[in-house]
Amino acid sequence: MDLDIFEIFFPVSGVKTSILLPPLVALVISFFTSMGGVSGAFLLLPFQMSFLKYTSPSVSATNFVFNIVAIPSGVYRYIKEGRMAWPLTWVVIIGTLPGVFIGYYLRVLYLPDQRAFKLFVGCVLLYIGSRLLYEATGRAAAGKSRMKALEDKFRQRTTELKTRQNARIASGLPKEAVVKTVSFSLAKVEYEFWGERFSFSTPAMFVLALVVGVIGGTYGIGGGAIIAPFCVAVFHLPVYTVAGAALMGTFLTSIAGVTFYSIMPAKNGFATSPDWLLGLLFGAGGFAGMYLGARFQKFVPQKSIKLMLGAVIVFLAVRYIIQFF
């Protein structure tokens, strides 16, 4: 099929491409990244900069639009299944919101030049890619025996439920497989999941969320791909309870990010408002890709997914960093 007949011009971003390309690319990226537990937004931005030649500060805002459209289906699933750790979610949101505001000014005032911004993007990608590669190693797996046991327990129980009841997991989860808040204070948060008790320092999580918000606000991602690994590796929280909080935080901070980029004054006349049509097309593809990725995840080994994603991301990171020098 000749895609040229579907080619249109996006006046806000200055991009001229097939109207089918953005949703198709977002679908493919989100399909694979969602299997690895990370958002596809951090890979969509390099695609827009390198392939579509969309490099103005508004590309960060357009990336936020993708999150707003693509994420709600995942958030709904976690809320329905009772796996939304609300205290963790609120700490993440309260910390990331001011960070996004700071990130906006860093992007507009200090990183409007595409060369400097690509170096920043390369550093963020290098961290995410290196983290994924490390997660696929035996050393990382050795320190997660408790999480592995919890994961095996969860998977075994849900399989039994599906077999016995022939029903959706969400309608048959046992009561101990939902998140129960034990305590929530300015000093510490504690909750239970599947008979296990988990806790974290409220100030430490707030500081982490603030830093992630600054990075995400500058880059154009909500920060879930950065904060989720920290919650699992540093705070030793189960990924089953972290993913929902990270998604919800990413969703709400993306709304804030689009707002900041749309209404705040820009320096030297730089375009900062999002290209809504382009962002919505990316979001539509991402919505479908995340859904399909979640459905097919169980058929693909996690180690293979992380190795593949990690290698691609590190390659992009090194390429951007080298371009700067």
Per the structure, how many domains does the chain have?
A: 1
Low-confidence stretches of the chain (pLDDT beneath 70):
1-5, 36-38, 138-177, 265-269, 294, 297-302
CA distance 132 to 49: 23
Percentage of the chain beyond pLDDT 70 is 82
Burial of 61-75, coded b for 16+ CB within 10 Å and e otherwise, reads bbbbbbbbbbbbebb
Which letter does DSSP use for residue 273 in this model?
A: S
Burial of 110-135, coded b for 16+ CB within 10 Å and e otherwise, reads ebbebeebbbbbbebbbbbbebbbeb
Full residue range of the structural domain in which residue 92 is found: 3-324
Residue 233 corresponds to which amino acid? A
- pLDDT tens by residue, 215-225: 999 998 878 77
Which letter does DSSP use for residue 108 in this model?
A: I
pLDDT of residue 154: 60
Task: Kindly give the interhelix angle for 202-219 and 86-105, rounded to the nearest 10 degrees.
Answer: 40
How many of the other CB atoms lie within 10 Å of CB of 199?
Answer: 14
- pLDDT tens by residue, 64-83: 999 999 888 778 777 877 77
Cβ neighbours of residue 267 closer than 8 Å, sequence gap 6 or more: 108, 109, 112
Residues 88, 294 contacting (CB under 8 angstroms): no
Residues 202, 91 contacting (CB under 8 angstroms): yes
First to last CA, the chain: 41
Question: ∠ CA 76-82-84 to the nearest 5 degrees?
Answer: 70
Kindly tell me the burial class for residue 163, based on how many C-beta atoms sit within 10 Å of its own C-beta (0-12, 13-18, 19 or more).
exposed
pLDDT of residue 171: 45
CA distance 250 to 155: 26
CA dihedral over 154, 286, 309, 132, signed as positive or negative: negative
pLDDT of residue 172: 47
Kindly report the three-state secondary structure assignment for every residue of 47-104. Answer: HHHHCCCCCCCHHHHHHHHHHHHHCHHHHHHHHHCCCCCHHHHHHHHHHHHHHHHHHH
Which letter does DSSP use for residue 300 in this model?
A: S
Backbone angles phi, psi at 236, to 5 degrees: 60, 45
Q: Is the pTM of this model over 0.85?
A: no
Phi and psi based region of residue 39 (left: phi greater than 0; alpha: psi -120 to 50; beta: remaining)? beta
Backbone angles phi, psi at 56, to 5 degrees: -70, 160
Which residues, listed in sequence order, are joined to residue 201 by a DSSP beta bridge?
188
Backbone angles phi, psi at 162, to 5 degrees: -65, -40
Residues 287, 294 contacting (CB under 8 angstroms): no
